[in-house]
Amino acid sequence: MNVSDFDFDLPPEAIAQRPAPRGTSRLMTLDRATGVFAHGNVADLPSFLYPGDLLVVNNTRVVPARLFGTDDEGRRTEFLLVEKTSDPSTWDCLARPGRRAKEGRAFDFGEGLVGTVAGKGDPGHYLLAFSGTPLEEALPRVGTTPLPPYIHREGGVADARDEEDYQTVYAKEPGAIAAPTAGLHLTPEILESLLHQGVSVASVTLHVGIGTFKPVKSERVEDHRMEAEQGVISSGAAAAIRLAKEEGRRVVAVGTTSVRTLEASAREHGGRVEAGPFRTRLFLVPGAEFQVVDALLTNFHLPRSTLLMLVSAFAGRENVLAAYREAVASGYRFFSYGDAMFIA
């Protein structure tokens, strides 16, 4: 498969720079069996779910993982915390410009927090060892929310509105560097309505990392390698998901990260979702078999992205691209702060 098979025309003005008030975005529905789509609103979501459905959300919490440090020559360098290493004081990071991240060089981040480059990780990654003020204590004061590059802010830094907007209402487990954006549409009122009509909710955790939004630079889909992301499935969530499948009830994933969590676990455990921590590089493309997920709430994704490939694997590439063309023509808002799609 060629990456170009997942391209589509998207005018820049279709990229949402601010979200609609939570719970009011537009919602396109797509029947993956027929390719038929229709227009609605996120507030209509309860009408598309049935008593007995199990809604699975990703409760990861975005951390202020973007930091700016100054070296001994007064030069400012940006770091993005990607993942904690086996040494709790050392993090795998991205750096910009990377040429300044020389081994042994120290950076002052303010509030008594110092980071020293301890070496290199994977290509383009650096190991940053923190000292001074504990990182967990300093980070809320020196770090900022790492918004995607297509969301533009004055000074290039997230503002106070983003601190709330770029977090789901059920965010609990800190560790993500990007939001599970389909969940941004859900409100306490929508969730309460679902519970009243007999829909149950289970939470899993996948800490969204750079693997979710890393650009696909190869020409062939098969040549792309996903970055690893880590998370955990609780025993209660695993049991609820297994019971729903055994009883023939639908498992409805909120977001592509929930899909990857469930399908990665099933692939590791003979089709069953099991509890425990995990790491995954799962890359779902057309031809993949979905063993757990029956329906999906998701946003509209970037052209040529792994997320668009996952949605195309679930609903069919031609169905999805036709729906995307309709979304563009109808003025839907795209990407993290944009509108939503429900696929069943």
Q: Is the peptide bond between 140 and the residue preceding it cis, with omega within 30 degrees of 0?
A: no
Reduced to 3 states (helix: H, G, I; strand: E, B; else coil), residue 5 is helix
Question: Which residues make beta-bridge pairs with 55?
Answer: 201, 252
Residues 94, 76 share a domain: yes
Say if 84 falls within a structural domain.
yes
Confidence (pLDDT) at 215: 82
197: left (phi over 0), alpha (psi -120 to 50) or beta: alpha
Mean pLDDT by groups of 10 residues along the chain of 344 residues: 96 98 98 97 97 98 96 96 90 94 97 96 91 95 94 93 97 95 98 97 95 82 89 97 98 98 97 96 96 98 96 98 98 98 98
CA-CA distance, 124 to 143, in Å (whole number)? 21
Single-letter residue type at 16: A
Helix, strand, coil distribution of the chain in percent, nearest 5: 30, 30, 40
Confidence (pLDDT) at 183: 98
CA-CA distance, 230 to 83, in Å (whole number)? 9
Say if 196 falls within a structural domain.
yes
Residues 96, 50 share a domain: no
Q: Which domain does 329 fall in, by range?
A: 3-62+163-343
Say if 58 falls within a structural domain.
yes
Alpha helices in the chain (DSSP H): 135-142, 160-165, 188-196, 210-213, 235-246, 256-268, 306-315, 317-329
Which whole-number Å values give the CA distances from 323 to 31, 48, 267, 340, in the listed order? 10, 18, 29, 12
CA trace torsion 299, 305, 308, 312 (10° rounding): -170
Residue 295 dihedral angles phi and psi, to the nearest 5°:
-150, 160
Question: Which residues make beta-bridge pairs with 136?
Answer: none
Residues 100, 214 share a domain: no
Q: Determine how many CB atoms are found less than 10 A away from the CB of residue 236.
A: 11
Say if 330 falls within a structural domain.
yes
Residues 269, 208 share a domain: yes
Residues 37, 55 share a domain: yes
Residues 177, 248 share a domain: yes
Say if 193 falls within a structural domain.
yes
Residues 57, 183 share a domain: yes
Say if 155 falls within a structural domain.
no
Confidence (pLDDT) at 261: 98
Instruction: Using the 3D structure, point to which of 115, 143, 171 is the last residue of a domain.
Output: 143
Confidence (pLDDT) at 86: 87
Confidence (pLDDT) at 84: 86
Say how many domains are in the chain: 2
CATH code: domain of residue 79? 2.40.10.240
Residues 335, 309 share a domain: yes
Say if 150 falls within a structural domain.
no
CATH code: domain of residue 310? 3.40.1780.10
Confidence (pLDDT) at 164: 96
Instruction: Using the 3D structure, point to which of 111, 143, 175 is the last residue of a domain.
Output: 143
Which residue, 287, 240, 284, 243, is CA-closest to 261? 284
Instruction: Using the 3D structure, point to which of 88, 115, 143 is the last residue of a domain.
Output: 143
Say if 228 falls within a structural domain.
yes
Element (H, E) at 57: strand 54-58
Residues 325, 312 share a domain: yes
DSSP state of 239: H
Confidence (pLDDT) at 79: 97
Length of the chain: 344
Residues 42, 19 share a domain: yes
Which residue, 58, 89, 269, is CA-closest to 168? 58
Residues 129, 7 share a domain: no
Residues 126, 13 share a domain: no
